[in-house]
Structures are given as structure tokens and as C-alpha cells.
Structure 1
Amino acid sequence: MPNTLVDIVTRYTDAQPAQSPVETPVPGLTFLRSDHRKHPSHLIFKPALCVVAQGAKRSTFGGQRFDYKAGQALVVSVETPALSRVVKASPTEPYLGVIVEFDLTVMREVMESIEAPPRPVSSVQHGVFVTHFQGNMADCVLRLVRLIDTPKAIPMIAPMIMRELCYWLLTGPHGSEVAGLVLANGHAERVIRAIHALREQFSEPVRIEDLAAIAQLSPSAFHRQFKALTSMTPLQYQKQLRLLEARHLMVSGAANAESAAYQVGYESPTQFSREYSRMFGAPPRRDVATLPATAA
């Protein structure tokens, strides 16, 4: 039986009634599939390795655009809103993707156990980059995916493969960038803590001074490093979180446009509608009417 990454993802998604993304029995492992090129969609990327097995994709984080295709992977080290689209797919050769979510605690443990760990870069780098998907890293992902066929082995083997994957990322060509994002006392890690605080309280008014204090930086340095990491300002980041959550509330039927606006922190429904239209290309009611419930 064929056992390549494309073969396994195709076989598994063929057998699933659910639309993409498709969850697997392996914790943190998700498959993506699209038989057609897609319009851009707004979503929140979590820290993960986003592998393209077949086809091609484009993701935009703030002002930074990343194109990646079969044989490449997008590495996301910080939870960030983005605009993403499938740019190469067809019914005969669908877009196939594999998402492996990172556990930054495990990443940190692996780094601490490396005899000569990578030296983190001195300044905060962008939390997203594209890398070639080959060699040991590709072997790890293939073995992780193959575990789907031996579910009893998943609890024992999957954590070991995940640790190995972290090792190859940390000792690979982008090891210094990854190291800067997992060190408990690094600038990037402190900025990430502030991002988590913003994420948890996105409906509240944001004060740069408070976020900077969490990151142990001056407001100007924090603003600069936040933008370096996410390609957007804290206010832009918060706005995207608010609008994505409002869209989720409306699509799921939990709120109408006005109540969703207030729930995510807007004081003016008019301002909400204006900014929603700018981000999604249509006013809230019209946009939500075109979306399936699965978009929630």
C-alpha cells in the first residue's frame, strides 16, 4: 500500500465526511484539503509547523506575505491573526496540508537537554518563516502521520516523535530564531507573554504601557518588537482578534451584529460595521449570510 505523505493524507481525508480541516487521532495533528483554489480567509494561526504535501498556499501576517508549496513548510512560533488562501489546487491534484501544533513547553525542555543549544538571535525576529521540508524533519512528520493506522501506539510513540521534531527544528538552519522564541528569559518570550495577555483580554481597552510592563520593556521598545514579531501593531492585532471573534459569534448564531459588536469591545456599532466591512469585504449581516455554519 502506498505510504507517502500525499497518499496517507489523501486516503484519510477521502474517508472523512467532514470538511477541511480534518482532525486526526494524533493529538495536535490536523489535515487540510481543498480541491479548488480558494478566496483568502481570515483565521488565527497557532504555533505550528504547517506542511504543504501537495499544491501551494499563501499566508499574510500584517504586511508580511509568505508563499509556500509542496516541499516547504510554514513555521509559526506565535499565535497570530492572518489572511490565508490556497493558490494551487485542482480536483485531480488537491491541495493537501499537514498541521503539527507545537507545545512550547516541550520545545523548551528539548532545548535545555541539547548539549550545545543554538544561540538565540539578539533581537526579536519575525515569528513566522518558511523552511524547506526535507530530511529528518520530513521523516518525523511522515512517521507521525503513519501512526493513524496504529492507534494503540499513538499515546506512546507520538510524544517521542514530537520531541524529535523539536530537536530537528532547534538544530536546523532556523534554530537560532526558534530558540529566541522559547527561551523563558528572552525578549521574544516576554513579548509573547504580553501577546497572550492581549489575546485573553482583547475585548478590553488596550494600554501599551500595561503590555510593555508584562514584556519588561519600554513602551516604544515593546511596540517595535511586537511589530517585528507579528508584522502588526498591538492595536491592529487586537482589532483583528475582535473582528474574528465577532464573526464567530454571528456565524454560530450566538449573537446578531449589534450584540456581537458590544461583546467584543466596540462601543459604536457603526464603527464596528465599518471596520468589519474593511476586513471581510462586506457588512456583517451580508458577510455572515454567505458563510456556512462550519465557518464558526
Structure 2
Amino acid sequence: MFTDSHCHLTFDELHNRLDAVLAEMHSAQVHQALCICTTMEEFSSVQSLAAGHAHLWATVGVHPDNEEVLEPSVEDLVKASGQPKVVAIGETGLDYYQMDERKGGRTVSDLDWQRERFRTHIRAARLTRLPMVIHTRAASADTLAILREEGECGDGSSAGGVFHCFTETREVARAALDMGFYISFSGILTFRNASDLREVAQWVPEDRLLIETDSPYLAPVPYRGKTNSPAYVPYVARQLADLRGTSAQAIGELTTVNFHRLFARTAASNQQ
């Protein structure tokens, strides 16, 4: 069994052929997936999709790089998190990738709205005791600093969560692990130029590992450049297995256990 801990099944590339996507997942032994919300406008579709399928779950949140969308309050996130099959807050975090100060583009100081949005999600996660799905791109120092400022210190009061689609250094991974976060690897792990990332993946403790596709993006080798799908998450597992001297099935099983440990509401919903 494999679990895709991060996918976007409501995006047109997958939603327009959803029946086929779900059938392909089943054939690939991908028996569960977490459907990620990126805007409040999208939330009802994500939540409805999860509610209609026993093997799917949902999050609620606004992606850090989405502008000109409905800005959530703490209260909005807390209320939405009470809907059936919602198991986490996010996707949230910081994304500074598009900044280009050398060319007169936006600067870090222009992104206060991202940092305030991130704080809103952290506060909602702490109130609801739900884990966060963290996106950080070209912003790891600020991501970690804000988590610490908001009380995410790895103690019993922390909400915790996962750093998804991890592409950072071992030092960033260590800091995230020290705060109690999990680390999730995507198809990027299979890319030829990802040798440094593979070293990090080999090092992360097995009880903090997750795998994902981030589909429809970042398809793993041998599908790189094509539309990604949850059915391809076993390729991530195989790469991890090669790095760690085990089998893809073993990686699938341990990351599924980790998934249910982190997203505790998934187990509860299965028992209803």
C-alpha cells in the first residue's frame, strides 16, 4: 500500500479525468491520498471530493503565493476545519521564489502579506490541534523563524505538521525535525540533479518520512515533464528504497503508518 500525502485532485489536469485517475491509483496500489486546498474559494470542492471517497482526505488553507484571493481569518480556518474529512491546515508557508531585487522586482519587505497569512494559519492550527502542511521555497530561514515565534518549538503545545515537497538542506531538515515536523519527498528526488536532496532523504529518520506527488506537478522519472498523478507515488518510494537499502513496499508501508500518525483524524474518519 502507498499513500500520496500531497496532491491536487481538484486542479483541472486531474479533475477533468478524475475517474481514470482514481482507477490508476488503485492499479498502482496507491490506496489513499490527501487532497490539498490552495484557496478558500477552492475549499468546498476539495472537501466535497474527500467527503465522497473513503480513501481521500482534505486540508483547508491558502497557498502562500496566491494573490488576489479571499484572505482567511483564523476563525475562517477553524470553522472550515470542522468539516468532515478535513485533517490539516494548509497548504501554508512562504514562497520568495519570484522575487528579483536585482531587477527592481519585489523584495522581502513587499511580502509582509505572506508572512501575516502564514501566522494566521499557524494560529488556526494551534487552536484546532491540527497539523500544518508547510510550503517553503527560497524562504526557509523566515519560515523557521516565524514557526518559532509562533510557538512551534517541538514541545507538547506545538501543532506540528509536514514540510512538503522538501528541497532544502540537511540543516533545514534538522531544524524542522527538531520542531516535531515530518519531511515529505516528491518526484524531485528522482531527478538527475537532485543528488544533494537524495543525501538528505537517506538521512531523515524513517518515522518522520512521507512521500507525495504534488500532482499534477513534478512527475518523477520516467514521466518527468508529463502531467503527474497520485499513481506515480510508488516511483518516489522506489527511489527512497534504493537510497535506504530496503524495498518500495516497505517504504510504502512505513510512510502510510507515518501518514496516519501525523494526520490523526484520518484514522478516526476510517472508524466512522
TM-score (norm: length of structure 2): 0.30
- Structure whose CA Rg is larger: 1
TM-score (norm: length of structure 1): 0.29
Relative contact order: is structure 1 or structure 2 higher (C-alpha 8 Å, sep ≥ 6)?
2
